[in-house]
Structure 1
Amino acid sequence: MKFLDEAKVYIRSGDGGNGCVAFRREKFIEFGGPSGGNGGRGGNVIIEVADGLNTLIDYRYQQHFKAQKGENGSGSDRHGANGKSIVLKVPLGTQIFDEDRETLIHDFTDVGEKFVLSEGGNGGFGNAHFKSSTNRAPRNANPGQPGEERWIWLRLKLIADAGLVGLPNAGKSTFLSKVSAAKPKIADYPFTTLHPQLGVVNADGREFVLADIPGLIEGAHEGTGLGDRFLGHVERCRVLLHLVDATCEHAGKAYKTVRKELDAYGGLLTDKIEIVALNKIDAVEPDELKKQKDRLKRAAKKTPLLMSGATGEGVKEALRALVDVIGEAPVSAKAKSTAEAEPWSA
């Protein structure tokens, strides 16, 4: 299934039905009086979180959604039927924005949560409603109120407990595939990962969800490379695991490049707890590894973990560091409902 995390959708709630002008006409009844029924209420547009969804791809192929119009009233005091509401299913973590893409309308955080985005128009009153002691035969009725229409943006922010960040080709996908049942594409070139990936990790008997996003490069906040829009998927994480490639030219500069992009993005990402790890230590000589470790330590102002996603060296320590921050209660309910995790073993 193709991953899509943003979609523009047109929605319209149903118009209310018109009221009816009618009079009772029966044999031997000289003054039957008004009998026009009221119009039915238009259908609402409802957004609901559905379990099992993890993409907005359905809204790539259908962008227009209209609720049913209320039925008109009719004679013999018959009221019109209400229009059927339309329900749009979205994955957990979806946000609704106005057409300007900045005004947040609603943020979904629970499975089964419902939000009425647009209410249907009220039905018009029939002439029977206007009968009074002074006006026994009203000949007026109300039209139904029109429904609401608008364009909205649906934006998905995956809900995970820990997020992987780093430059392209830093070994993030290899790490995810090693510690979870996820099977991301892995190759020896930058931007192998084009879409965010989720994996369920089982470490020391505790499960949590780990998110892998496409790599960041210098200028990502200005749209360079794949940009920084995927950083929204790690906004909800409690902790970030920052992987730095030990085979790069300068580990300290690589670390600072990513931190600069996190700071430019905002979203309090720079305030999150960060665990720094020097990856691919199996691919460098001991002398070079010591230099890179010292450079990274000076840049990050903390001692980095040493690990290799390919051989598994140091992976267990990195997972334990993540678990210590996440604690007993993961923020993501998907830890149980996504794919079943397999315990990691060295």
Structure 2
Amino acid sequence: MSSVDSAPVIHVLHENPDWFGPFQAAFEAAGVPYREWLLVDGVLDLDEAPPAGIYWSRISASAHTRGHGLSKDYTRSVLNWLDAYGARTVNGRRTIELEMSKVDQLTRLRAQGFDVPLTRVVVGTHLLVAAAEGFPTPFITKHNQGGKGLGVQKFDSAAELAAAIAAGDYEEPEDGISLLQEFVVAARPEVTRVEIIGDEFIYAITADTARGGFQLCPADACAIDPTTGALLLPPGATIQPEVGQHIFALREGFDHPIIDRYRAFLRAEGIEVAGIEFIETADGRIVTYDVNTNTNYNAQIEASAPRSGPGAIVDYLAALLADAYPSAR
């Protein structure tokens, strides 16, 4: 990264061009200057001050699944550097740690009084079966460092889990940490995701878990096989998606006290852009289970939503840029 160009811009830190299209379109439609910084590999000069502008991190816990295993630690280095020079970051140094750890998410949610799934953390796959003994059944496994439903499988017993591991059907987590988690029974086969940008509720969506299973990434690129282009039947799904069917739907008129609780949670954690997911259970609980800090938006939802998610992000970043560099307006 060079500071030759001194004009302040929005610097977007990310590693997946397939997810950037809607944001690029929003920046260009609004005429807001931006620069992509792909944190895949590179050289960082700690003695060189960062270029002028606002820095927005979109690094994902699933980066390693795209061959970008260096991106997470590269991002930590970049965000440390930015902090040292006092640069304004959105979803900065603290946020990357929460994005990379579901344990971090769940412990922080629990600390603020949210109902979260019963969870047992297992460091080392060789301890999974023993840890599952006596755990309520059915249960699911999940990777601590994930995204896209990585490592999520449902088991009816510890013996079934043991058989899967013995058969090589359990994928090793990137950081060696697995979660055993209660299988939360939903009142309806759906989850809700609440999108918040700059402390403002944008909209809520529902995701059809019968067709989406455990992999509920709303980006269009997540719905198809990257090699064949065919629609995917995600793990945990019970109905094969068909062409023209939509897993995601706008949850119109959603106005629930949980929104303000999520806003307070994000403020406390210093997170400015996020999608938070919860399940409404058959026994009346609202169980919060995931915080997405590199949130994506679904094109079909965007077509009918009262406000655009990428558009709201660009508006928010543009306002921060104007406040930080008034002479550049």
Output the TM-score relative to the length of structure 1. Answer: 0.22
Whose helix proportion is higher, 1 or 2? Answer: 2
Larger Rg: 1
Q: Pick 1 or 2: higher relative contact order, CA cutoff 8 A, min separation 6.
A: 2
